[in-house]
Amino acid sequence: MPVITLKSAAPRPPQADADVTDMVAVMLTRLRVGGAQVALEYARRLDGWDGPITVPAARIDDAADEVSQQLRDDIRWAHDNISRFAAAQRATAQDMEIELRPGLFAGQRQISVRAAGCYVPGGRYTHIASALMSIATAREAGVPDITACSPPSGAGGIPAAMLYAMHLAGATRILTIGGVQGIAAMALGLFGAPPADILVGPGNAYVAEAKRQLFGPVGIDMFAGPTDSLILADDSADPELVAADLVSQAEHGATSPVWLATTSRPLAEAVLARVPALIATLPDPNRSAAETAWRDLGEVALCASAEEMARHADDRAPEHLHVQARDLAWWRERLAAYGSLFLGAETTVAFGDKAAGPNHVLPTSGAARYTGGLSVHKFLKTVTWQEVRAKALPDLARVTAAISRQEGMEGHARSADIRLNRFGGLDRKGRMRKLAANDQG
């Protein structure tokens, strides 16, 4: 039975239209040539910021005093969860060594990048959680130098709670600069920062496009578009909870789609009736953002079975996937394409967005088909090494030379031959050379 669409979504807009692409290209060219001076000009004109770009230590100390003790405790509670989860991830990334054949050793090492740039978005919301997610994860990965930047919020610069979170998470330095100029400042190593090896963190279309254009010489976490969420629900789900969860994610912005797939028509109809009423209770500008997202991009689909819901989810590959249905263990094992999975009615995507522990920087626009979200692994390089001793030389050199000559790569073959003759291969009379003393046994 095909999926029945009870509410359709309009086609999703492009992540970066031609105007954004062209504008970012021009800005990056100017920033590469003009460096810090051009970044300052953009900060003055686009951010409206006339203060110092690098946040002084005294301002960071003052910011902590401006944050209530309760909020400091709450931020620390969330930071502890995020750091502990990232540390557990780091423990899974292991160095290893194997002797593939006698005398042929190979292995891998996990090496952190030297410098990371963490972008923390500003604007309509104070993204405390985003600061923790990117900076604390880099710190737990072992990155020695972390630059964090965020746009100012009025004359006061970066909000005090955000500064407290950025410092707590382990930023080496904090820059009051946003947008393309902030991304470029970290990538190019401006304002006393080393050039970043990787740029991470969410942002608007201009930030995402700047990361895309810089990718190559600089690593990035992912190509990020608007956030998206899918709820899978059966007839055991509570329509009020489902509707509230859809509204909470639509609040992100007018381009943030929210979707529901269910096997229960009564549930679907109840949710369709309830969502507009819940949106109407939000304060502005949250209300207008959620109204547009639900009207233009919201979708409700009716499926015939749990398996059909699962296939629908795998095809959509959402950033956030929330299951409110029976047999959660089955869903956890069955589902295969999502940025992060939220299981059960007691769980909500908002927990993951703010404080639960796993990272909230996740693949969007279907990218969860092939990648996961931000983790310590994004800040690590898995590099390999190999060491060959005389015991391994005869067969290894022979096979290498044979394959090389078959491919037409004579230089490669000769590089193998010379080692065969010099280090334990055949002597001039065609006899095997004796192995070196340290290769006996």
Residue whose structure tokens are 């891998």 = 108
Domain with CATH 3.40.50.1980 in the chain: 18-221+377-382, 226-372
Cβ atoms of 416 and 397 within 8 Å: the answer is: yes
CA dist 362 → 186, 276, 349, 367 (Å): 21, 27, 12, 9
- What pLDDT, on the 0 to 100 scale, is given for residue 123? 78
Would you report the helix, strand and coil content of the chain in percent, each value rounded to 5? 50, 15, 35
Q: CA 349, CA 231: separation in Å to the nearest integer?
A: 10
Please give the Cα distance from 422 to 329 (Å, whole number). 60
Distance CA(73)–CA(123), nearest Å, equals 24
Distance in angstroms (rounded) separating the CA atoms of residues 186 and 138? 15
CA gap 317, 372 in Å, rounded: 11
Cβ 202 vs Cβ 119: under 8 Å: yes
pLDDT given for residue 439 in this prediction: 44
Q: In which residue are the tokens 């692409």 written?
A: 21
Enter the tokens of residue 76: 């620390």
Q: Residue 411 corresponds to which tokens in the numbers above?
A: 């230089």
Q: Contact at 8 Å (CB) between 231 and 324?
A: yes
For each of the chain's 441 residues, which pLDDT tens digit applies? 678 999 998 765 554 478 999 999 999 999 999 999 999 999 999 999 999 999 999 999 999 999 999 999 999 999 999 999 999 999 999 999 999 999 999 999 999 999 999 999 997 788 999 999 999 999 999 999 999 999 999 889 999 999 999 999 999 999 999 999 999 999 999 999 999 999 999 999 999 999 999 999 999 999 888 999 999 999 999 999 999 999 999 999 999 999 999 999 999 999 999 999 999 999 999 999 999 999 999 999 999 999 999 999 999 999 999 999 999 999 999 999 999 999 999 999 999 999 999 999 999 999 999 999 999 999 999 999 999 999 999 999 999 999 999 999 999 999 999 998 888 654 444 444 544 444 433
Cα distances (angstroms) measured from residue 283 to each of 253, 289, 291: 13, 10, 12
Position 437 scores a pLDDT of: 41
Q: At what angle do helices 18-42 and 179-188 cross, to 10 degrees?
A: 70
Helix (H) / strand (E) containing 296: helix 286-297
The DSSP call for residue 178 is: -
Q: In whole angstroms, give the CA distance from residue 385 to residue 175.
A: 38
Task: Give CA–CA dist 247/38, Å, rounded.
Answer: 41
How much is the pLDDT for 11?
66
Number of residues written out for the chain:
441
Phi, psi dihedral angles at 148 (to 5 degrees): -115, 140
Kindly report the CATH number that applies to the domain delimited by 226-372: 3.40.50.1980
Q: Which residues pair with 321 in a beta bridge?
A: 230, 341
The first and second tokens of residue 311, run together, are 């296939």
Residue 127 among the catalytic residues: no
CA distances from 171 to 137, 167, 314 (A): 11, 5, 37
pLDDT at position 441 is 36
Q: pLDDT value at position 18?
A: 85
Catalytic residue among 140, 291, 299, 319: 319
Model pLDDT, residue 2: 79
Q: Of 320, 333, 377, 407, which is the active-site residue?
A: 320
> What count of Cα atoms within 13 Å lies in the side-chain half-sphere of residue 251?
22
- Of 436, 411, 414, the closest CA to residue 423 belongs to 436
pLDDT at position 14, please? 53
Q: Rounded distance, CA 152 to CA 3, Å?
A: 46
Is 320 in the active site? yes
Report residue 230: phi and psi, to 5°.
Answer: -130, 130
Peptide bond just before 121 cis, omega within 30 deg: no
Whether 290 contacts 298, CB under 8 Å:
no
pLDDT at position 13 is: 54
Return the closest-CA partner of residue 236 out of 328, 142, 135, 340: 328
CATH annotation of 18-221+377-382: 3.40.50.1980
Residue 239 amino acid letter: P
Query: What are the φ and ψ backbone dihedral angles of 122, each rounded to 5 degrees?
Result: -120, -140
